[in-house]
Structure 1
Amino acid sequence: MLAPLTNTPRDYAWGSSTLIAELEGRVPSGRPEAEVWFGDHPGSPALLQDGSSRTLDAWFAAEGVATDSPERLPYLLKLLAAGSPLSIQVHPSQEQARAGAAREDAAGIAVDAPHRNYRDDNHKPEVIVAVSDTFEALAGLRPLARTRVLLDALGDAPGVARLREVLGATDDAAALRDALAWLLSGTAGPAVAEIIAAVRAATSETFATEIAAIGRIADAYPGDPGVVVALLMNHVTLRRGEAVYVPAGVLHAYLSGLGVELMAASDNVLRGGLTPKHIDVDELLAIVDTRPGEPPLLPAVAGEPGVDVFAPGIEDFELLRVVVAEGEVRRIRLRGPAIALATAGAPVVTAPGGRVELVPGGAAFASPDERTLEITGAGELYLAMPGRVPRRPAAG
């Protein structure tokens, strides 16, 4: 089966009021539109336009496909539009997610409780590819030698001096862990205010982009300790078609722009600032990887002509960017259930089980029995499917 797939944008406060509407060529709704989910995740399952009015999870259930079957979607594809910064966050590994969900289940914490950390027992590695001309993000903790140079540009206010002191350990990962613990402890408020004031007053050619970004974050979340956490992170500006890959444990936040996001089918988030939502500092520190490094960019690998492949080497997913000109045909071999999401032009997706004409923002679902897709028309789409790595059997 090949059928159109739709969903309603989620109106999170950080969403853009224009980006998704502009992509789809419609008048903005006037509300923030943050994410459109294309998948079978129970948090917001997509709707099949096959005449049945079923959601995608209901279709799998009707087909008798168990939730742990290899034919089930191991991923969740999203269109994400950030009008203001998302929370700083980190996602657990598979082992951490299973242990955390079991622990909270045993404690009787409802799955939808605001203070629950683990909504499910799955990990949540993710890739985001820029669809807008630029997409701004924070990804990973900056090498500490460079952060110390940045702090030198902020002067000698007491809060800045205190942060330098906390970062003084000889082991960089331990120093950054200490800094996160201090900043999120609830006792660093005066120092946070002094550091933010120093950022606003600072001038630096080397760190002009980072200082400007932190200033914008501080405008959105005045006084939030996450502003100073952001100061420790790599600032990344993706160009259209460039990607970041965020594995388990890597601290990150998306700041602005429109992107296609593909992740394991999970909603597990541990937050580290820039949010009014629950922050469990102890649990965050238990799963975050504080080893500093360069931004985790994921270069595309050229596949067939007109096809770029974003493959992080995991079993859950792989993302293809497919560009086709009028008169051309792209033939894609599938591995399990696939979802195509158009981002430009009018690509046409054809399989033995159907034909779908797409427009920007439109999607199509190919069931697990489909083995190939033909893409024609003129346009661009992103195609999600399971990764090349064989899937492990479910635990238990």
Structure 2
Amino acid sequence: MLTPISNDPRDYSWGSPTLIPALEGRQPTGAPEAEIWYGDHPGCPSRTPDGRTLDVALADAGRPALPFLLKLLAAASSLSIQAHPTRAQAQEGFAREERAGIPRDAADRLYRDDNHKPEIIVALSDRFRALVGLRPLAETRRFLSVLAATGDDVPAGVAQLQSRLAVDDDGPAAERALRDVLAWALDEADAATVASVAAALDAAADTGETEFADEIAVLRAAASDFPGDGGLIVALLMNLVTLRRGEGLFAPAGVLHAYQSGLGVELMAASDNVMRGGLTPKHVDVPELLHVLDATPAPAPVIRPRPLADGVDVYDTPVDDFLLERVTVTVAGDTVRVAVHGPTIALCTVGEVVVAGAFDSAALRPGAAVHIADEDAVEVSGTGELFLAQPGS
């Protein structure tokens, strides 16, 4: 059974006013359009043609809630730096805050449910930028040496970082040093210290620095958007990744990430548990962030699609909550058959495609989606691109 679903864009301040309208082929409203949610998450459930929200429609049919949430995400400036808990951490934290009587919609509530929130984003724009994971220390020290050489005196914040990160590149010492730096940046570094790092970034840009030119540009934008925010120092420690269209980025539990710019398809476990690490006016709980943090320095976890069948690619992730596939039909008249395993959402991102089940079908254009239930497979025809989100194996 196929049920069309739709939703309104969410107008978060970091959203792009143009990327989602361009995908859907309509005029921008002038307001930021940051995300469109496709799913039954109570924070913003999709609507069905009969006017019900998808969560209500599934409950009325006796179906369980979806284990995942699919989104279109369009960023024009940095999202908050954040990390998500493991399932065990979420269960413990949720129970703790329930016992404490903290309202689930309170601004300082951290655990709004008892689930983990691994996520993957796949670039739809030609370039999608993100900060993700803590950069290997040797690279960070090289970056700091560039910032230290921008004047006669080493800027105070840069000198602090060089001193605190003068440890072995790998192992427990590196992880302890990074945890200590994050705690210092978010709890102790004053506005003047953060400003000294921002000034060093400005000076480095003026020198025509090339190796870290992209990092400098991203960090300067963050410093302008969030003046005095210690998250600038956290961001300086993170990998900057530029995804090309079709490439993905996986953020498992504990890994810091902050999307910067571009349009993507995002798929995550059905959760709203977020520990923030700066670049945000929202609540930052440093001890809880450090509790869930994976401080292992490593390159960014970029995922490239793996061919599964003709016209079907899969994005492999080590979680059982979701599976993301991309279906491409390039020749009119061709049909691509895709197996489905449980409740599925199909989202069109290019062209015009028809999704057909055993007894019904749905025509989709970019931005349109359909919920699929009680099907073993669907057939996709037309010409275009479709993403399928379904439970993991």
TM-score (norm 1): 0.94
Asked whether the equivalents of residues 7 and 36 of structure 2 are also in contact (C-alpha less than 8 Å), the reply is yes
Residue 304 of structure 1 aligns with an amino acid whose one-letter code is: A
Q: Does the Cα contact within 8 Å between 2:352 and 2:382 map onto a contact in 1?
A: yes
TM-score w.r.t. length of structure 2: 0.95
Amino acid at match of 2:106: A
1:285 to 285, 290, 308: 290
Q: 1:149 aligns with which of 142, 146, 159?
A: 142
- Which structure 2 residues correspond to residues 349-388 of structure 1 after superposition, within 5 A? 349-367=355-373, 369-388=374-393
Distance 1:111 1:56 in 2: 21
Structure 2 CA distance, aligned partners of 1:282 and 1:188? 18
- Aligned ranges 1:168-247 → 2 under 5 Å: 168-170=166-168, 171-202=173-204, 203=207, 204-247=209-252
Q: Is 1:79–2:72 an aligned residue pair?
A: yes
Whether the aligned pair in 2 keeps the contact of 1:214 and 1:230 (CA below 8 Å) is yes
Aligned-pair CA distance for 1:313: 2.6
How many matched pairs? 380
1:310 and 2:312 aligned: no
SS at match of 1:303: strand
Q: 1:9 is aligned with what amino acid? A: P
Contact 2:14 2:77 in 1 (8 A): yes
Partner amino acid for 2:96? Answer: R
Q: In structure 1, list runs of 5 or more residues that go unmatched.
A: 67-71, 389-396
The match for 1:391 is none
Q: Partner of 1:124 in structure 2?
A: 117
Report the Cα offset of residue 227 of structure 1: 1.3
Name whichever of 285-294 and 151-160 sits farther off: 151-160
Contact 2:246 2:304 in 1 (8 A): no
* Identity, % of aligned positions: 55
User: What is the one-letter code of the residue matched to 1:314?
Assistant: V
- The 8 Å contact of residues 162 and 191 in structure 1, kept in 2 or not, is answered as no
Cα pair 1:167 1:178 within 8 Å, conserved: no
Q: Alignment partner of 1:97: what SS?
A: helix
Q: Report the residue type matching 1:341 in the other structure.
A: L
Q: Is the 8 A contact 2:84 2:275 kept in 1?
A: yes
Residues 228-285 of structure 1, C-alpha deviations (whole Å, 9 max, x = no match): 2111000000011000000000000000010000000011111001100000001001
Report the alpha carbon displacement of residue 169 of structure 1 after superposing the two structures with TM.
Answer: 3.7
Q: Tell whether the 8 Å contact from 1:311 to 1:387 is kept in structure 2 after alignment.
A: no
Q: What is the CA–CA distance in structure 2 between the aligned matches of 1:20 and 1:270, rounded to whole Å? A: 27
Q: Where in structure 1 do 4 or more consecutive aligned residues deviate above 3 Å?
A: none
In the alignment, which residue of structure 2 is the partner of 1:29?
29
SS in 1 for 2:303: coil
Q: Which residue of 2 aligns with 1:319?
A: 324
Match of 1:63 among 53, 61, 64: 61
SS across alignment from 2:147: coil
Give the counterpart letter for 2:174 in structure 1: D
- 1:45 corresponding residue in structure 2: 45
Q: Which amino acid aligns with 2:344?
A: A
**Structure 2 partner of 1:69:** none
- Once structures 1 and 2 are overlaid, which stretch shifts more, 128-137 or 218-227? 218-227
3-state secondary structure, aligned to 2:45: coil
Q: Which stretch shifts more, 217-226 or 95-104?
A: 217-226
Consecutive unaligned residues in structure 2, runs of 5 or more: 149-153
